Amino acid sequence: MNKLIMGDKLQIQCYKHNGHIHRAWDEAIFLEEQKDYLVFANNKTIVTKAEGITWKTKEPAIMYFFKDKWFNIIAQLKKDGIYYYCNIASPFIIEENTIKYIDYDLDLRVFPTGQYKVLDRMEYNYHKKIMNYSDDLDIVIRSALNELIKDYEKGSLMFSNENNNCYYDLYKSLKKKD
């Protein structure tokens, strides 16, 4: 992977455990690299599902992709507050200007009120069965969900509204230069 430069435009591809593409996003603008993760942003970007269905995202998003953690975090900056959509997923790789990861179904949704909810347990159990997730993988996935919840509860930086608004300001200044 070449060294990323602030403002670089990448795409995102999300796969399932069986190797099939699940979803793709046209744009992710690189903002910053930290020791453990990369930060990207986008707004009104085209999303394409495997079946060919497309739509545009409705609001700005700040995305955290971790080098060694089995989740990623998306801060969605909506009119009524910041929502967090967190995917339990493999650590990312970057190939051919594309961020790639495997989605493992379970999601954590955090609301502006501070409440959160684990989503898609039935989908996880279904895919675990039909795609033959190993017992070791199941342990990794469940541990990642617990780690993610703990990170949220302890107020990890990725869940800071102030931090995400600063990243959004940086993203807007980069888009102005475009």
DSSP helix/strand/coil, 29: strand
Residue with token string 């039935």? 122
User: From CA 73, how far away is CA 66, in angstroms rounded?
Assistant: 9
The answer for residues whose C-beta is within 8 angstroms of residue 68's C-beta and 6 or more apart is: 36, 91
Which position among 23, 109, 121, 142 bears the catalytic label?
A: 23
Residue matched to tokens 């594309």: 98
Task: Judge whether 23 counts as a catalytic residue.
Answer: yes
Catalytic annotation, residues: 23
